[in-house]
Structures are given as C-alpha cells and as structure tokens.
C-alpha cells in the first residue's frame, strides 16, 4: 500500500505541475494582452497631456500677440499725440513711451519665436505619440486575436489535465491528498522531493532544499515504509530517487 501511495503521489505531482504550467502559460497570455492595453491607455494619457500643454502654449502666444497689437496701437496714438502738442517735455515723455513700447514688442516677439518653436516641438511629439498609439493598437489586436485563437485549445488542455489530476487524487486517501495540496500550494507544486546521495561525501540530502537527510531515512524509503516521511526542513514528502 505504501508503495502505491508514494508512486501515485509522484504521478499526482507530475499532473499537478503540468496543470500549473498550462495555467501559468494561459495567465501569461492574458497578462500580455492586459499589458498592451495598459500601455495604450498610458499613451492616450500622454497625448492628452501634450495636447493640454500645446493648448496652454497657444493661449499664451495669443495673449502675447494681443499685447503686441495693443502696444502698436498705443505707439500710433502716441505718435498722433506728438503731432498735436508743442510742449517739449510732453513730446519727450511720449517719445519715451514709444521707445518702451517698441522694446516690449521686441521682447514679446523674441519670446513668441521661442514659443512657436516649442509649439512645433509639441506638435511633433503629438504626431509621434499618435503613430506609436496606432502601432500599439495594431499589435494589441494581433495579441488579442492570437490569445482568442488559442483560448479554446488552452482551456480544453487545462480541463483534461485537471481531470487527470483529480482522477489520480481520487485513488489516494483524502488526508494524503490534503497534505499534498497544502505543501504543493506553498512550494509552487513541488510537494515531493527525492532523497539524493552525494557519492563523494557519502551523505544524503533532500532534493528540494539540499538539507542533510539521515541514512536511516534513506533506508526507510528504500524499504518502502508504510508512513510518509517529511523533510524536517522544507516539509516536502520524501521518496527514494529510484523508488
């Protein structure tokens, strides 16, 4: 009976690990689809942020253009007023106003040149981001189609493997299956480990955690003990490698 249990547990572990592998592969495909979808959302957010920056800069330029027009209108008024006055001090004061306005206009126009360069750079970034968004969209659709095409086959394979695992588990005592499941869930499906002999040192170790195992334990395993033997370090169920 003990021989049947340990051999069946080895079969259960193989089926369990295969099931985990299949489920992990399907989960990886799902993650790939989600990752690309998230990337697309990030790109959309980036585009909106750049567009907002572009809009704000366009508003600043418009305000500067309005200020330039207002100062040019003021210059024309000052020049018109100069033609109507005879007081030298008033004439000079208006002349200073004209000079300050002209200096301010030149400063505004220099700023606007830089702003227009920044505006063009933002437009380039928007175009590049939109092109990348389009590429990402095409790739996302391709990944989705591939995942969808493989979904039915993957689900069928997982279901078949789960049935096989359940069929094997049903041949074992329920407490043994519960113990196996607890260990497997904690150790990523590796509930069993062989006892390995180090031919150089002549010692025995657990094949799961590499901690030393007594020779008596190995002898018991080779003798097909009726009791399951647990590694005291990693708690895996031990078996003789050639059992």
Domains observed in the chain:
19-171 (1.10.287.1490), 178-240 (no CATH)
Measured CA to CA in angstroms, residue 117 lies from 57, 67, 182 at distances of 11, 20, 65
pLDDT of residue 146: 82
CA 243 to chain centre: 44
Neighbours of 91 (CB within 10 A): 15
Bridge-based pairing of strands 237-240 and 192-198 is parallel
What phi, psi does 198 have (nearest 5°)? -85, 105
CA angle 222, 234, 228 (to 5 degrees): 35
pLDDT of residue 243: 46
pTM of the model: 0.65
The Cα 51–Cα 55 span in angstroms is 6
Short-list 49, 50, 57, CA closest to 116: 57
The Cα 51–Cα 123 span in angstroms is 8
pLDDT of residue 2: 45
Q: What is the pLDDT along the chain (243 residues), one digit of tens a residue?
A: 445 789 899 999 999 999 999 999 999 888 888 988 999 999 999 999 999 999 999 999 999 999 999 999 999 999 999 888 888 899 999 999 999 999 999 999 999 999 999 999 999 999 999 999 999 999 888 888 888 888 888 999 999 999 999 999 999 999 999 999 999 999 999 999 999 887 777 789 999 999 999 888 888 888 766 689 999 999 999 998 764
pLDDT of residue 222: 83
- The separation between the first and the last C-alpha atoms of the chain, rounded to the nearest angstrom, is 14
Bridge-based pairing of strands 203-206 and 212-213 is antiparallel
The DSSP result for the chain, as a single string, is -HHHHHHHHHHHHHHHHHHHHHHHHHHHHHHHHHHHHHHHHHHHHHHHHHHHHHHHHHHHHHHHHHHHHHHHHHHHHHHHHHTT---HHHHHHHHHHHHHHHHHHHHHHHHHHHHHHHHHHHHHHHHHHHHHHHHHHHHHHHHHHHHHHHHHHHHHHHHHHHHHHHHHHHTS-HHHHHHHHHHHHHTTT--EEEEEEETTTTEEEETTT--EE-HHHHHHHHTT-SS--B-TTT-PEEEETT-
């Amino acid at each position: 009976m003990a021989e049947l249990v340990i051999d069946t547990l080895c079969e259960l572990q193989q089926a369990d690990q295969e099931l985990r592998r299949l489920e992990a592969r399907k989960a990886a495909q799902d993650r790939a689809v989600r990752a690309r979808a998230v990337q697309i959302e990030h790109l959309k957010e980036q585009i909106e942020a750049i567009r907002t920056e572009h809009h704000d800069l366009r508003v600043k330029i418009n305000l500067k253009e309005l200020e330039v027009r207002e100062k040019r209108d003021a210059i024309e008024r000052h020049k018109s007023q100069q033609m109507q006055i005879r007081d030298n001090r008033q004439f000079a004061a208006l002349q200073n106003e004209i000079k300050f306005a002209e200096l301010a206009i030149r400063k505004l126009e220099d700023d606007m040149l830089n702003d227009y360069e920044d505006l063009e750079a933002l437009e380039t970034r928007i175009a590049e981001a939109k092109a990348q968004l389009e590429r990402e969209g095409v790739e996302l659709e391709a990944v989705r189609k591939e995942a969808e095409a493989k979904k039915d086959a993957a689900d069928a394979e997982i279901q078949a493997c789960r049935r096989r695992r359940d069929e094997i588990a049903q041949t074992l005592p329920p407490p043994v299956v519960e113990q196996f499941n607890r260990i497997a869930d904690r150790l990523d499906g590796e509930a069993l480990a062989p006892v390995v002999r180090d031919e150089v040192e002549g010692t025995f170790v657990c094949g799961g955690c590499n901690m030393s195992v007594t020779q008596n334990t190995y002898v018991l395993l080779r003798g097909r003990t009726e009791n399951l033997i647990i590694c005291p370090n990693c708690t895996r169920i031990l078996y003789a490698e050639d059992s």
